[in-house]
Every structure is written in C-alpha cells, then in structure tokens.
C-alpha cells in the first residue's frame, strides 16, 4: 500500500459541503490517496442465496439492532447526491402511482508510532457550539458489479423510481431478487426502471441487502448487466458500523472514540473528493470497513455519539486521518504518520483519553466542530 502525507484538497463539488464550516475556520480538505489495512472483525455468517426469479421469494433473517442503553439511537436521514443520472436524493413516495492524487502537500511533523510512557500533548477541544452539528449525508457502495442482489426490509418499504413513483412495495421481513435480464432490471417477476430506491416506510426500518442489514435507504443501479448497490445514510449512522468493523468493540471507550473521530475525518475527505460519481467510498478496507448494523454495539454507538461532530483539522481544513492496525504498518506505509489502532488500544488501557491519543498519533492537528454555515 502506497501513501502520501497530508495534502490540502478542495472539494471538486463545493456545493456538497457548502453548508458546513469548521469551528476553527475554513481551509479545505486535507487528504491523501491511500489505504489502511486493519484487523478484520470476526467474520459474520453470510447467507449464500442464489437468484431465484420464480416461483419463490428468498427468506431473510430478522435484524438484530443495537440501541444505546441511555437513549434511543437517532434515526438516519437520506439526502444523497448521485447521478446516472439518478436523482440527488431519495424521491418522496407518490401515492398516485479512484480519487485523483493531490497536488500540494501541507507541512506536518512525523511522530514516533510507538506509545510513549506519558502523554506529551493533548488536543484541546473548542467549546461546543450552541447549534447541533449537522448529520452529514454519505453514500457508501455496498455492492459493486453484482450479478444479482437479494433485497428486503424489516418494515414495509417502497421501491420507487427517480420521480418518486411507486414501482413495488416490499412486505416486512420478506425479500425480492433484483437481477438484470436482457438489459432490464427485474424485481422478482416484474420489470423495473434501471435505477430504483428502496426506502423503508418507518424511520426505524432497515434495508436488507444480500446478507446484511443497513440503516437509511438503498439505491440500486443496473448498468452493463451488473448491479451497483449504494447505501444512503448519515455520517453518524455510518460510523456506528465503521467503528465496530475497524476495532474490536470490547476495547476501551477512549480508543473507540479516537477511532470514531479518525474515521469521521477520513470519510469527510472522501465526501469532498468522492471515489465515483455515484458513491463517496466503498465498504471494504480499501476505504473503511463497513458492515451495516451487524458490527454495531452499545460501545460503538456510545463512542460515536459522545464525539458527534468532532473532526481532526489542520490549518482550518479537515484531515483525512490515516490509520492502520499496527505500529509497523504505520511506519512502513504511512511514513510513521497515522494512528496505530493497537497503539491506541494500549494507550487507552494506560488511561490516556481520546484527546491525548489523537495528539500522539496526529501531531500538529487540532480538534474542531462541524457546523452549519450562517
């Protein structure tokens, strides 16, 4: 895996981030194009379903959704931006019917990757603004070049075209096969437009896609005989899963908080500089591991909620905060600049808080709040 240091990159589509600014001031997006291997979470059992267009519908398992013990998890919102030309957000139901390489580097010092005996620095957190941080929409490719998809919902759900016209209704806890035949998308026995949205009718509804459950809405795009599935959700709901996919949920909460902030900053860089016109990033370790609600736990939800809206910044720009599983990978791949996930775990077990952990691995950066622009 090749990697570069931090680079300031300004959004190619500034309108997508026009509503945001950082409490420390605007500057751009600090980013680099690289990947970060990390320890895979325990493998989840996958349903190996073959496409059966007729006569029977596939059977899907019931979802197991974790909620915060102290309060219910916020419902996800879906206001994506995409084109094929798909609409820029899921349509409302109608009852009548590879990133470019950056060009300019920012200066940053290189830390030692190994944990030190005592914290030498801490990242100060500015006072929390009166307004709540925005729930930033994000588009995650959860299936690419798939010959077919099995899709269902935990609650009744609408399948809609881009104009919000009803195509089909999914019954709760049942699923349909989505497959391309003769250049035409078919849902079960029914022909459908080549771009459709699956939107649960309830805010608490989850969408099932070929073995995993997801918050938010799912867009299915048929192209060249294959299917692209894109999960449209909000940043915090996305991070509920990423934190548990990238770190064991049993690790100390301060390590999980550090992971949440690093992952949020990384994702924001890719929203500004998306991997594809149709999605911001994928769901594998090439970007950040994302497995839907199966990797959500009470500890990952707590880590995300208690750091909601906090990002790493440098000169007023959000940092694409690189990280990897071990100190050795950070040294070899990231030139010693980035977070060792195992190192964060060790520091947290020695009572370092997330501000000290992040200061250790990302020297020269600051913490900032995401806010709506005035």
How do residues 275-325 score in pLDDT, each as one tens digit? 899 999 999 998 999 999 999 999 999 999 999 999 999 988 888 888 888
Q: How many angstroms separate the CA atoms of 71 and 69, rounded?
A: 6
- The SS3 assignment for 331 reads helix
For residues 233 and 187, the answer to whether their CB atoms sit within 8 Å is: no
pTM for the predicted model, two decimal places:
0.74
168 C-beta neighbours (distance < 10 Å), count: 15
Average pLDDT over residues 11-38: 42
Selected residue with higher pLDDT from 175 and 20? 175
- pLDDT at position 113 is 42
- How many residues appear in the chain? 374
How do residues 131-148 score in pLDDT, each as one tens digit? 888 889 999 999 999 999
Selected residue with higher pLDDT from 349 and 336? 349
- pLDDT at position 131 is 83
For residues 67 and 301, the answer to whether their CB atoms sit within 8 Å is: yes
With vertex at residue 75, the alpha carbon angle to CA 71 and CA 76, rounded to the nearest 5 degrees, is: 140
Mean of the per-residue pLDDT values for the chain? 76
Question: What percent of the chain is predicted at pLDDT more than 90?
Answer: 54
Average pLDDT over residues 234-258: 97
How do residues 73-114 score in pLDDT, each as one tens digit? 333 333 333 333 344 455 554 433 333 333 222 323 333 444
Q: Is the pLDDT of residue 234 over 90?
A: yes
Quick one: tokens of 293?
A: 């609600």
Q: How many angstroms separate the CA atoms of 32 and 35, rounded?
A: 9
The three-state DSSP-derived secondary structure of 32-77 is: CCCCCCCCCCCCCCCCCCCCCCCCCCCCCCCCCCCCCCCCCCCCCC
């Amino acid at each position: 895996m090749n990697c570069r240091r931090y680079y300031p990159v300004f959004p190619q589509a500034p309108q997508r981030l026009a509503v945001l600014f950082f409490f420390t001031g605007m500057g751009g997006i600090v980013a680099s194009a690289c990947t970060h291997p990390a320890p895979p979470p325990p493998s989840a059992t996958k349903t190996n379903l073959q496409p059966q267009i007729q006569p029977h519908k596939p059977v899907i398992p019931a979802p197991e959704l974790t909620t915060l013990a102290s309060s219910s998890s916020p419902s996800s919102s879906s206001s994506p931006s995409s084109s094929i030309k798909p609409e820029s957000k899921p349509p409302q139901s109608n009852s009548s019917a590879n990133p470019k390489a950056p060009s300019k580097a920012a200066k940053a010092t290189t830390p030692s990757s190994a944990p030190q005996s005592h914290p030498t620095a801490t990242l100060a957190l500015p006072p929390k603004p009166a307004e709540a941080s925005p729930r930033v929409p994000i588009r995650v490719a959860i299936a690419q070049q798939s010959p077919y998809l099995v899709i269902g919902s935990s609650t009744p759900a609408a399948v809609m075209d881009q104009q919000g016209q009803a195509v089909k209704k999914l019954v709760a806890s049942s699923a349909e096969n989505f497959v391309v035949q003769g250049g035409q998308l078919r849902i079960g026995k029914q022909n459908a437009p080549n771009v459709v949205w699956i939107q649960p009718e309830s805010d608490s509804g989850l969408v099932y896609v070929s073995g995993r459950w997801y918050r938010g809405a799912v867009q299915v795009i048929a192209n060249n005989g294959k299917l692209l599935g894109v999960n449209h959700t909000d940043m915090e709901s996305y991070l509920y899963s990423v934190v548990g996919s990238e770190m064991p949920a049993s690790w100390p909460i301060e390590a999980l908080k550090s992971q949440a902030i690093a992952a949020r900053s990384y994702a924001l860089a890719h929203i500004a500089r998306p991997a594809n016109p149709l999605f911001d990033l994928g769901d594998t370790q090439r970007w950040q591991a994302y497995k839907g609600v199966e990797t959500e736990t009470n500890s990952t939800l707590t880590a995300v909620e208690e750091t909601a809206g906090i990002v790493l910044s440098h000169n007023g720009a959000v940092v694409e905060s690189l990280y990897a599983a071990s100190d050795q990978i950070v040294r070899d791949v990231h030139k010693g600049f980035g977070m060792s996930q195992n190192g964060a775990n060790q520091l947290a077990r020695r009572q370092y808080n997330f501000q000290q952990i992040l200061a250790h691995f990302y020297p020269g950066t600051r913490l900032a709040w995401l806010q709506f622009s005035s």
